Structure 1
Amino acid sequence: MLLGGGALDLGRGPRVALAIVVLAGFVVLVTPEPSVLRASVMAGLVLIAFARGRPSGGLPMLGTAVVVLLVGDPWMARSYGFTLSVLATGGLLLLAGPLARRMASVLPLWLAAVVAVPLAAQLACQPVLLLLDPSLSVFGIVANLLAAPAAPIATVVGLASCLLALASPPLATVLATLAWLPAAWIGAVARFFSSLPLARLPWIGGGAGALLLAALTVLVLVAVIGPLSQRWRRRLLILCAVAVTCVLVATGGAQVAGLLTRPGNWQVAACDIGQGDAMVVRSGGQVALIDTGADPGLLTACLETLAIGRIDLLILTHYDLDHVGGAEAVVGLVDRVLVGPPGEPDDERLAQRFADHGALVHSASRGDNGSFGELSYTILWPPARLGDFEPGNDASVVAHFTPAADCADGCLSSVFLGDLGETAQTRLLAVNRSLGRVDLVKVSHHGSADQSSALYQRLGATVGLIGVGAGNDYGHPTPQLLDMLAASGTAVTRTDQDGLILVAPAGTDGGLTVWRETTGVGADD
């Protein structure tokens, strides 16, 4: 806009005003996500400085943008998108130049500059990325080098397509097709490098892992670009190399031990995604996912651990955040979706989003059934007409999986109760009189006290799975619920203490093997 206005001999003020208007329109078009707001506010500050004829240093503009946004919305500091955007920009401003000059001693200057940009961003962001996925990307810098040139092309051509959509839909379609090419290239690069062997190396998770990596990153940067003697440079690099090797060996060894002890014939998994539900059922080469938890990153990590790349059946029991917040992680990866009754327009939009990406979406109600691998499933709840129940917890979709007639020995039966309360559970029992014993039950509402002991007695499950977050404020699972399970002879497994949980058949005598991530050992029940 500035260049175009200059070509029209517009003054500095009108050119800046035009650029700010277009910038605001672009933010509305792509939606004001935290990272978009960071970039747009920073760009606006640069434009204002340009209009006043003053210099606009990168770091002062970044710092001012951060202050302005956090004063307006302090909770934005909790957004990963905002934090990563700030860190990546800061890394480019602070580290790209010194890294390029250091690498220019062994690489051509142009190549050193090209490599320094993604390297600086990766170094700045990696400690925070560990909070989303406790692993290090081996090929991330190379992938960014190959993908980065396509990003501005896709952005500009895509914007032009949107602007022309009303005036000339055919021309907009042509531009959208052109914008697809660089976007498809970026996707292809990501898929290729993520599929390579050892694409990610395990690291310590949580805050401890992030702080350790941040400290090691600082030491490496001091050694590489700091004013140190060659001798101290070498010492620091050796120290960091030894530390990284020790961490990789320790974490990698733990993962290998887990893989060796993990039952390969598991049929049901409870993902450790904090306070929420994300349960997986596997049968006959097909995969069902019941709910997605609240965090797409945690769900993605669990599915990658289980080597799941495609979902045949997704059941969204109801639309609370702790059950559908992670849905974005599986959009485009699902064939069929069963959803509970919507309560708000956002609920319907989520279901439509799956439909737009090729999934067959169906509103589930009592009596719906189908086949799934070597199992059959039946929906026990909610009724087609909710009556006294409102959309939400008590209208959760309850799925009952049973071995099909042609199932080989060892198929597990299971019931997933969503977040039903005691009243809804009692009504479910009344309208499903043939419901009998099952191998395992997904305990309702993360182990709240609002439960029907009669239901758990009727189910008589061998194992109860509880999706619950460590240190949650609700006191889940409650002593009352744990007493109910004990009275019904149901062994308790809970993700806050056990981490990822896998349940597999143990032979042909009806026993079960339960594998817990925290111990890495399967136990028969």
Structure 2
Amino acid sequence: MVPAPPDLRALAVGLGAWCGALLALVLPGMAAVASVLLVVALVGIGVRRRWWGPAWLGPLAALVAVAGVAALQQAVVSTSPVAALAQRGAVVEVRLDLTSDTRVVPGQYGDLRVVQARVQRLEGRGSAWSLDVPVVVMAAEDWPRLPLGTVVDTSARLVASDDDVAALVRPLGDPRVVRPPSGWWDGAAAVRASVRSVVAGRDADARELVPALVVGDDGGLAPDLADDFRTTGLTHLLAVSGTNLTLVVGFLLVLGRWAGVRGRWLHVLAAAGIVGFVMTARAEPSVVRAAAMGTVALLGLGRNGRSRGTRGLGVAVLGLLLLWPRLAVSAGFALSALATAGILLLAPGWRDALARWTPRWVAEAVAVPLAAQVACTPVVAALSGQVSLVAVGANLLAAPAVAPATVLGLAGGLLALLWHPTGTVVAAPAAWSAQWIIAVARTGAAVPTAAVAWGTGPVALAGLTLACVLAVPLAPRLLRRPGSALACTGLLVAVVVVRPPSPGWPPEGWVLVACDVGQGDGLVLRAAPRTAVVVDAGPDPEAMDSCLDRLGVRAVPLVVLTHFHADHVDGLDGVLEGREVGRVESTSLLEPAGGVRLVGEAVGAAPDVAAYGTTRQVGDVRMQVVWPRPGAGPGAAGESAPNDASVVLLAQVRGVRVLLTGDVEPSVQAALARDLPGLAVDVLKVPHHGSRHQDLDWLSSLGARAALVSVGADNDYGHPSPDLLTALTAAGMQVWRTDLSGDVAVVAREGGVGVVARR
């Protein structure tokens, strides 16, 4: 029996819905309306003149409907009393329905507790309203962590937001609980807690990965492990995805059949499993999206699965965007939809090509992750700036352990609600399976070329997209012959195992490199061949280690950590890895305690203090400590004491004068202006990643030719400030940012300095 072809009409409807949401969300108001009207007119004229058939009316209707819903939702949010009061920074009494779990995120002056909510009632400026609009609550670290579904009253200041919410809510006091979560949420929380409890005694990484696999609860996963999952293309396992639902509901249906459930009752059982999964994982848009894609995958497993699956995908995209048009600009939505489409449209042909000379189960195992990877690669590259070369292999190796880790982890959690020892025994294989997945991620990320850097500009992404499109007809031809398939596999293995040289890197005559370490500082001053002074180590050991490897640095006689914030010291292990490291110095202010402890454990002793006024020569590097001055005391009120205690260095390398400023804030910058009148340098390391809190007059007076901003892409702090960039450019400086240019090297040239970017 010939399988039914994919239903491309349904996919066209889903694509039309996606385009409608993008038009309404990305373009400004009147431009979006004009664009929608233009599309309607073109399709109408084309159908009337029979340029194309009436089938175009379905996607057109979806486009108009979703664009209309998106525009309406935007209007409701932007014209609400909450948004109006937020523009004036009003202090109000507000009733909030908490719609997410609380996340702890680092802020400029301490940790923040962030939770999504909907405003039910608002009182302020002499008026009161009952309404229902989304907001984001950003509270101090002493605000209680209340469970999802709690309704609270609180006093708060409203702050305008550029996101898809009406305002940011900054509570001014403790919340007053009006209504606790309903029984449904309590039950879901009990299951989540039970899943955690049955693996609590396991290896630290395994006990965090099992809840992530079961219900997407990855809050405690180690950052370095999360990076390894990203590098190996296994990140989808950490979030709530369609795979989770497919495994859980599929297992439930197997149990149902074993128990004698048949016919329509199986559909009822599957529906109950989907609802239960959504409630347990939290009924947020991302979870409902994952459930929808998982349902599509289940449809694809049945008779005429390809046809039913593509119809289900089109309907799912349309339905989700009618409910939450904002999903159209969500990376998770794009990746889920593209991966599902790739599996439904590409994988069957690629599987059949491979099945000509391999067992069918091998062909299936290779074709599915390969099709998903090809479909998602352009989006992944746009988000991460890299293309994973080990993703397909890592997914193949991890796949056998995903089902037992997910299913047995959930089963153990449910059984533990009845009798905890039974749940612990059942969940033990889940922890073992999780350890295998962790081993795959760590081993895959450790190979020399697990991923290659890729530009995120339009030209680079267009080229990558074109390559993926060309792979669609080319792949079956390569896969159907053992010679060509094995040759491609061997070439890929060779590229992955052998680290390729970076052409032209480091550039000839480099004296300073600002490493691309994300949201943090990691600076390298060249002292001699294969020898350098390191100033700060960034937040990520792997990123710092890789930067030093690219520079060929094997010896570090001196490490200066300007202060103990995580974005300057957490990557210290990357400096120490496989290198001869001498003296480690830092500031005298031993705060925060966590950073001090991490440095002490890495070095094996407390770091020495970089003494004020000290001048030393390390190879070609001559450097002087110009801050903190003894007895300087804390900075101005509202400034961070650790930032203002940063070690500031004035360095000279082969005639190039460099000012390395740590994270000092305006009051200290003003003090430095008084201490060092008339200071002139060639290169400025911009303080505090380009924060808007700067003494612009002093920075502009330094006469630097180049200003380096060490900053992470898409950071939550708004770094670097547009006003700062404008001021530095107006002062004649050329600004270089690590988030846009990657590693940035300063090169000594006759008559001045040059700058070379690696990206």
TM over 0.5: yes
Q: Which residue of 1 aligns with 2:276?
A: 22
Shift of 1:120: 1.2
Tell me if 1:415 matches 2:415: no
Distance in 1 (alpha carbons) for counterparts of 2:563 and 2:326 = 28
Distance in 2 (alpha carbons) for counterparts of 1:156 and 1:377 = 58
Which of the numbers 95, 102, 127 marks the counterpart of 2:378? Answer: 127
- Secondary structure of the equivalent of 1:516? strand
Tell me if 1:42 matches 2:293: yes
Distance in 1 (alpha carbons) for counterparts of 2:574 and 2:721 = 33
Shift of 1:89: 1.5
Which one-letter code corresponds to 2:433 in the other structure?
A: P
Answer whether contact 2:746 2:755 (CA < 8 A) is retained: yes
- Secondary structure of the equivalent of 2:647? strand
Distance in 2 (alpha carbons) for counterparts of 1:101 and 1:49 = 16
- Secondary structure of the equivalent of 2:505? helix
Tell me if 1:85 matches 2:336: yes
The 5 A counterparts of 1:227-306 are: 256-259=502-505, 261=507, 268-269=513-514, 271=516, 278-282=520-524, 304=546
Shift of 1:23: 0.9
> Which consecutive residues of structure 2, in runs of 5 or more, have no partner in the other structure?
1-251, 526-530, 551-558, 577-583, 587-591, 602-606, 612-617
CA RMSD of aligned residues (A): 6.1
Answer whether contact 1:415 1:441 (CA < 8 A) is retained: yes
In structure 2, do the counterparts of structure 1 residues 189 and 361 end up closer, same or farther at CA, with 3 Å as the change threshold?
Answer: same
Shift of 1:90: 1.2
Distance in 2 (alpha carbons) for counterparts of 1:153 and 1:75 = 34
Distance in 2 (alpha carbons) for counterparts of 1:86 and 1:4 = 29
Which one-letter code corresponds to 2:686 in the other structure?
A: V
Shift of 1:331: 13
Distance in 1 (alpha carbons) for counterparts of 2:573 and 2:336 = 25
Distance in 2 (alpha carbons) for counterparts of 1:140 and 1:75 = 28
Answer whether contact 1:400 1:416 (CA < 8 A) is retained: yes
Answer whether contact 1:2 1:16 (CA < 8 A) is retained: yes
In structure 2, do the counterparts of structure 1 residues 169 and 478 end up closer, same or farther at CA, with 3 Å as the change threshold?
Answer: same
In structure 2, do the counterparts of structure 1 residues 332 and 4 end up closer, same or farther at CA, with 3 Å as the change threshold?
Answer: farther
Shift of 1:14: 5.5
Q: Deviations over 1:251-276 (max 9, x none)?
A: x99x743225266x765415397xxx
Shift of 1:108: 2.8
Q: Which residue of 1 aligns with 2:204?
A: none
- Secondary structure of the equivalent of 1:389? coil
Q: Deviations over 1:486-520 (max 9, x none)?
A: 5xxxx6442388653124799xxxx99654117x9
In structure 2, do the counterparts of structure 1 residues 330 and 107 end up closer, same or farther at CA, with 3 Å as the change threshold?
Answer: farther
Q: Which residue of 2 aligns with 1:517?
A: 757
Which one-letter code corresponds to 1:85 in the other structure?
A: S
Tell me if 1:451 matches 2:675: no
Shift of 1:280: 0.9
Tell me if 1:426 matches 2:674: no
> Which consecutive residues of structure 1, in runs of 5 or more, have no partner in the other structure?
339-347, 363-367, 521-525
Distance in 1 (alpha carbons) for counterparts of 2:430 and 2:677 = 56
Q: Which residue of 2 aligns with 1:150?
A: 401
Q: Deviations over 1:413-440 (max 9, x none)?
A: 753354845x67437768x899988885
Q: Which moved more, 1:120-129 or 1:1-10?
A: 1-10
- Secondary structure of the equivalent of 1:192? helix
Distance in 2 (alpha carbons) for counterparts of 1:27 and 1:127 = 28
Distance in 2 (alpha carbons) for counterparts of 1:162 and 1:424 = 54
Q: Which residue of 2 aligns with 1:107?
A: 358
- Secondary structure of the equivalent of 1:261? coil
Q: Which residue of 2 aligns with 1:523?
A: none
In structure 2, do the counterparts of structure 1 residues 120 and 305 end up closer, same or farther at CA, with 3 Å as the change threshold?
Answer: farther
In structure 2, do the counterparts of structure 1 residues 396 and 13 end up closer, same or farther at CA, with 3 Å as the change threshold?
Answer: same
Which one-letter code corresponds to 1:495 in the other structure?
A: R
Distance in 2 (alpha carbons) for counterparts of 1:334 and 1:20 = 48
Kindly name which structure, 1 or 2, has the bigger radius of gyration based on alpha carbons.
Answer: 2
Percent identity of paired positions between Structure 1 and Structure 2: 27
Q: Name the TM-score, length of structure 1 as normaliser.
A: 0.60
Distance in 2 (alpha carbons) for counterparts of 1:314 and 1:152 = 45
Which one-letter code corresponds to 1:189 in the other structure?
A: V
Q: Which residue of 1 aligns with 2:215?
A: none
Distance in 1 (alpha carbons) for counterparts of 2:418 and 2:563 = 39
In structure 2, do the counterparts of structure 1 residues 64 and 495 end up closer, same or farther at CA, with 3 Å as the change threshold?
Answer: same
Which one-letter code corresponds to 2:359 in the other structure?
A: P
Distance in 2 (alpha carbons) for counterparts of 1:90 and 1:77 = 16
Shift of 1:207: 3.0
Answer whether contact 2:643 2:665 (CA < 8 A) is retained: yes
Tell me if 1:64 matches 2:315: yes
Distance in 1 (alpha carbons) for counterparts of 2:361 and 2:296 = 30
Q: Deviations over 1:288-327 (max 9, x none)?
A: 65777xxx9xx9889755549xxx99989999xxx99xx9
Shift of 1:27: 1.8
In structure 2, do the counterparts of structure 1 residues 482 and 221 end up closer, same or farther at CA, with 3 Å as the change threshold?
Answer: closer
The 5 A counterparts of 1:359-398 are: 370=609, 388-389=637-638
- Secondary structure of the equivalent of 2:504? helix
Q: Which moved more, 1:445-454 or 1:152-161?
A: 445-454
Q: Name the TM-score, length of structure 2 as normaliser.
A: 0.44
Distance in 2 (alpha carbons) for counterparts of 1:15 and 1:313 = 61
In structure 2, do the counterparts of structure 1 residues 303 and 452 end up closer, same or farther at CA, with 3 Å as the change threshold?
Answer: same
Distance in 2 (alpha carbons) for counterparts of 1:419 and 1:223 = 55
